[in-house]
Chain A
Amino acid sequence: MTALKAILSYMHDFAATTHAVWLREVLRMLRDSGQIVGAFSRPVLWVMIFGIGLTPYFRTGLRETTFMVPFTYIQFILPAVVVLNLMYPAIQSAVSLIWDREFGFSREVFASPTPRSAIFLGKLAGGTTIAMAQGLLVMILLPAANVPVSYTSLFAALLPMVAVALAFTAIGLLLASRMSSFQGFGVFANTLILPAFFLASSIFPLDPSLSMEQALQSFPAWLVFLVHANPVTYAIDELRWAMLGYRQFDPVTARAVLSAFVVIPIALAYHAFRR
């Protein structure tokens, strides 16, 4: 009887800690004006300015582009912008780990009787929540791209979004566990985010329905390889499938890669977190 009670009380404490850490992450982000401005300006910049600006250069007539991507450019990149607005806050949220270390708050947390894993889970959940909120913001612009919004498509979009949010929060936590300075983390994060984003069939489509030879006619081999090797490519593909009903990569591969992309960083980050 007492063993059961002990387990229950442990679970209760675990949940309370996870909640406390999660809430703190969310509150901190809500009070960070810089983050908020970035969260709103990014979709406007990428969708309304970049997307609209380049749309005339893509499919307008019946045979204006070589690739048969059956969407306008702005429709094509909208899921990619969602992922962009997931990646940035997810990685940035991990900077709180360095902040805590610098300004002593980590002592408050680590000297407490809480289990370490609860702290990790709370930070992971916090970063994911913040990222999801920002990702969903981009959805507000769906009508501007003439993408039909339906409850089913929004619901289907949630799963790949959560996967991306989790994966990048974990990657951020992994980085932050190993870095001690803000600048180092910032540089690393930014160096990571944009290439991962650009090389994901996000803003220029890499049509895998073409054979390697055909693809290589337009793109260099290293680029094609990197796009195929980049897990974000598959995440954006899944999201495009959910939002537009269009996909370029095989669903089985995409889902397998995405699952691994979630599980592996979380495992590595947890390991690094335990120090």
Chain B
Amino acid sequence: MDSAAVIEVSDLRHSYSSVEALRGVSFSVPKGSFFALLGPNGAGKTTLVHALCTLLRPSGGNVSVAGLDVRRAPRAVRRSLGLVFQEASLDDRLTVFENLIFHARIYQVPRRDRRRRAWEVLALVELEQWANAPVSDLSRGMKRRLEIGRAMLHEPTLVVLDEPTTGLDVQSRRRIWEYLERLQKDHGVTLLLTTHQISEAEGADWVAIIDQGRLQALDHPAKLRQGIGGKLINLQIGDDAFRQALSNRFPGKCKQRDSVIQIEAEDPEALLRELVADEQQWRMVDSLEVVDPSLEDVFINLTGRELRDRTANLSR
């Protein structure tokens, strides 16, 4: 891990009454990186993010953001954070511009910079034409874009996004991805993103997988995928018996869903040659694809089953 870390989390714990939401999570987020937090609902993602944003006081452990301790300097921490949360937090009755100026004021942007910055972020998310429109006129995707722009308004070190593309159509999602990329590349902003849409995390620099309050894995996505080893063969086979037979042939490496059986294969070519050799068997295969394991697979691997001899890179 790099030395310049924007976020340092060390042995973070938190419980809500009797429920332990976080059981000692530690990691650090390097400056300028795109860091993705993956995990199912109830894994502790939200708790972790809230602790980072000083919206929650953790029961134990330390968190520091941009070198500031969240317990000791919460206001300064907030000043260096830009937040985009799942539920929209815009004022429908005000115009786009008014929302931005409000934000600028409460985030202590100096007066002479407010209007200029507002126009700059509007340009960034391509909403200049809507500056004087009431926010209620905007579509969901546009509102989300506005929130991203707003999060950048006070030039934060870190932008935290909690499921930012939930409920958006594909086009909006793609557009938002462009903006986020631009933010990171052109403006050097560190992005921390939580999601349970694994495809979003594919482009990240770092992926952390959280489950049951613990950090299950933390690495570059490519390395995580490689950790699974080999490739995956997806076979669509209508015949239940044949599928079962295959499953028995490759114990522990098969997963089934509906009529698709997925086989992990270190050497996919060898396996396929075997299959093709037997023409009778081959005819029962409706379709076939060979894919690289995705993060989805990594995830299922880690959280659906017990970790065996996989080396999960825990932080540092």
Interface size on A, residues (CB 8 A): 25
Interface string of B56-81 (1 = CB under 8 A from A): 00000000000000000001101101
- Minimum CB–CB distance from B191 to chain A (whole Å) comes to 17
Contact A17 to B105, CB < 8 A, known contacts A107-B85, A111-B55: yes
B94 engages A113 (CB within 8 Å): no
Q: What residues on A are CB-neighbors of B90 within 8 Å?
A: 105, 108
A109–B111 Cα distance when bound, in Å, is 19
A110–B55 Cα distance when bound, in Å, is 8
Interface residues of A in 98-145 (CB under 8 A from B): 103-115
Q: What residues on A are CB-neighbors of B55 within 8 Å?
A: 107, 110-111
A23–B78 Cα distance when bound, in Å, is 23
Q: What residues on A are CB-neighbors of B105 within 8 Å?
A: 16-17, 19-20
Contact A104 to B107, CB < 8 A, known contacts A28-B93, A31-B93: no
Q: What residues on A are CB-neighbors of B107 within 8 Å?
A: 112-113
Interface string of B77-99 (1 = CB under 8 A from A): 01101010101111111100010
Contact A104 to B89, CB < 8 A, known contacts A24-B94, A111-B55, A111-B78: yes
A144–B102 Cα distance when bound, in Å, is 42
A104 engages B94 (CB within 8 Å): no
Please pick, from A28, A107, A109, A114, the residue contacting B94 in the complex, using a CB distance under 8 A. A28
Interface size on B, residues (CB 8 A): 27
Q: What residues on B are CB-neighbors of A24 within 8 Å?
A: 91, 94, 98, 102
Max chain B Cβ within 10 angstroms of own Cβ: one of A13, A16, A32, A113: A113
The reply to whether the CB of B106 lies closer than 8 angstroms to some CB of chain A is yes
The reply to whether the CB of B103 lies closer than 8 angstroms to some CB of chain A is yes
Interface residues of A in 1-51 (CB under 8 A from B): 13, 16-17, 19-21, 23-24, 27-28, 31-32
Contact A107 to B89, CB < 8 A, known contacts A24-B102, A113-B75, A113-B78: yes
Please list 24 pairs of residues, one from A and one from B, whose beta carbons are closer than 8 Å in the complex, sorted by A's number: A16-B108, A17-B105, A19-B105, A20-B101, A20-B102, A24-B98, A27-B98, A31-B93, A32-B93, A103-B89, A103-B92, A104-B85, A104-B88, A105-B90, A107-B85, A109-B106, A110-B55, A111-B55, A111-B81, A112-B103, A113-B78, A113-B108, A114-B106, A115-B75
